[in-house]
A = this chain, B = another copy of it.
Amino acid sequence: MSQRKGHLRLGAFLYPTGHHIAAWRHPDSPADAGRDFRHYVQLAQAAESAKFDLIFLADGSGTRGDNVEFLSRTAHSYVAQFEPLTLLSALAAVTEKIGLVGTASTTFNEPYHIARKFASLDHISGGRAGWNLVTSSSAHEAKNFNFDEHLAHARRYERAVEFAEVVEGLWDSWDEDAFVRDKAAGRYFDPAKRHVLDHRGEFFKVRGPLNVERSPQGRPVVVQAGSSEAGRALAARTAEVIFTAQQTLTDAVAFYADVKGRMAQYGREPEDLKIMPGVMPIVGATQAEAQEKFEELQALIDPTVGLALVSTLTGGFDLSGYPLDGPIPELPETNASKSRQSLTLELARRENLTIRELYLRVAGARGHWQLVGTPAQIADALEERFVHYGADGYNVMPALLPNSLDDFIRLVLPELRRRGLFRSEYEGRTLRENLGLRRPVPRYQREAVTQ
């Protein structure tokens, strides 16, 4: 393959029992992993020993839907797991080098709280905090926060842009050397190095300053996941890492070029942003062994759960009345995500899939890129996307925990290292340093230089 300098950045995206929809039913998974702190300690420490850049936690501020029959049959309903900021803070105390990235929504939070908690985590962890900035689209979450419905997509992104501005402004409240703590003179901080934000925007009025000192990374790393037009614009403007879900090399390369190409208009360099698609690798010593592991999980998918996921992906249509081994019926158009709906249906029609075949195809990894193969095959795929500038690294989504993370560390990482594609030791002390991201220049210094 063509040469590309540098190495992959890797995240370990931890979902309690693993990302495969049926992982919790596997005999090797601890079904109560979502409330088992020891489980997470082991995973985080394993990822750190293996020199992953970061661990990554998703989030939702509510259960996923009202279909109780479905919810009660899956561990993926976000009903019984730790809240990310508390969990990451606890993990900070038992790890030393690995980055700690957690999701927090801009839709149902206040920027002051978010700026403060991530800055605090950055201090606690000695410079390892990252904020995955998302907007929340679920009406079920909205109903937990005084709303009857969720905000429209465009409004959510307008709010997110302003939210990010406020958070970044608050993180710049104090110059690096503001706290002189001169005991003899009785001077705790230098008043000239304190900056009152005084933000007054459409969504927020936030005076500041933040009541946390400038954090070890300057600012926590900002991660983002949106792939829509508004999501890409926001990412090009503020994100330092993007977690994406492109399925093919072509899509990944196009996405990469598009987002990196947008950055110049915000005065940013392409290296200021690392693109890390999600990938669910299932590894075996042989292709057959990998396939067997995959099939073992697939066989555990409950038809109720499979049907509910297909129903979500095809726009909310209830397929439960149709024979599982029969064809997909003609479905009416809905106002759900058009691209997702048509992609799923096109797949079913093109390959003439039955309902069961369709859910087996899409339910396991819930729409993410999945790789089933030998260490060399998986390394090939990861290398290919990297050298073609479709990715700067990957957010690895272990199918089954702890097994799939162990497999990846034991089988795939040595292969990546042999190819010079992954580190054997951390380069830096902070997440920002390990990701190869520049230390941000505080806005008041930028303004001083510009004037």
A147 to B112, CA, bound (A): 13
Partner of A183, one of B31, B140, B181: B31
A211 touches B79 (CB 8 A): yes
Partner of A145, one of B27, B41, B206: B206
A191 to B126, CA, bound (A): 43
Q: Does A336 contact B (CB under 8 A)?
A: no
A1 to B304, CA, bound (A): 69
A109 to B69, CA, bound (A): 32
Binds B, one of A89-97, A227-235, A437-445: A89-97
Nearest chain B CB to A309 CB, angstrom units = 14
Partner of A34, one of B80, B174, B213: B213
Additional 7 contacts, C-beta under 8 A, given A25-B186, A89-B90, A143-B207: A31-B181, A37-B126, A71-B189, A71-B191, A80-B188, A85-B86, A146-B204
User: Given the complex, which residues of B lie within 8 Å of A327, measured CB to CB?
Assistant: none
Q: Does A344 contact B (CB under 8 A)?
A: no
Q: Does A82 contact B (CB under 8 A)?
A: yes
- A interface SS class: loop
Convert A118-130 into 0s and 1s, putting 1 for each residue whose CB lies closer than 8 angstroms to a CB of B. Answer: 0111011010000
Closest 5 interchain pairs by CB? A89-B89, A143-B207, A83-B120, A93-B93, A31-B181
Q: Does A436 contact B (CB under 8 A)?
A: no
Within 8 A of B (CB), among A287-320: 300, 302, 304-305
A131 to B213, CA, bound (A): 25
B35 touches A123 (CB 8 A): yes
Q: Does A419 contact B (CB under 8 A)?
A: no
Partner of A117, one of B86, B119, B148, B212: B86
User: Given the complex, which residues of B lie within 8 Å of A147, measured CB to CB?
Assistant: 205
Residues of A within 8 A of B (CB): 24-27, 31-32, 34-35, 37, 41, 60-63, 68-69, 71-75, 77-83, 85-87, 89-94, 108-110, 112-113, 116-117, 119-121, 123-124, 126, 140, 143-148, 174, 179, 181, 183, 186-191, 194, 204-209, 211-213, 300, 302, 304-305
Partner of A32, one of B146, B181, B302: B181
A63 to B206, CA, bound (A): 13
Nearest chain B CB to A126 CB, angstrom units = 8
Partner of A81, one of B189, B209, B212: B212
Taking A143-B207, A211-B78 as contacts, is the C-beta distance between A191 and B83 under 8 angstroms?
A: no
A63 to B179, CA, bound (A): 14
Complex: chain B residue closest to A35, CB-CB? B123
26 A-B residue pairs with CB within 8 Å? A32-B181, A61-B112, A61-B116, A63-B209, A63-B211, A68-B191, A69-B191, A71-B191, A72-B187, A79-B194, A79-B211, A80-B174, A80-B179, A80-B189, A83-B117, A83-B119, A83-B120, A85-B85, A86-B89, A86-B124, A87-B124, A91-B93, A108-B113, A112-B145, A147-B205, A186-B305
Nearest chain B CB to A297 CB, angstrom units = 13
A86 to B34, CA, bound (A): 19
User: Given the complex, which residues of B lie within 8 Å of A305, measured CB to CB?
Assistant: 186
Nearest chain B CB to A151 CB, angstrom units = 15
B211 touches A80 (CB 8 A): yes
A108 to B207, CA, bound (A): 14
B72 touches A206 (CB 8 A): no
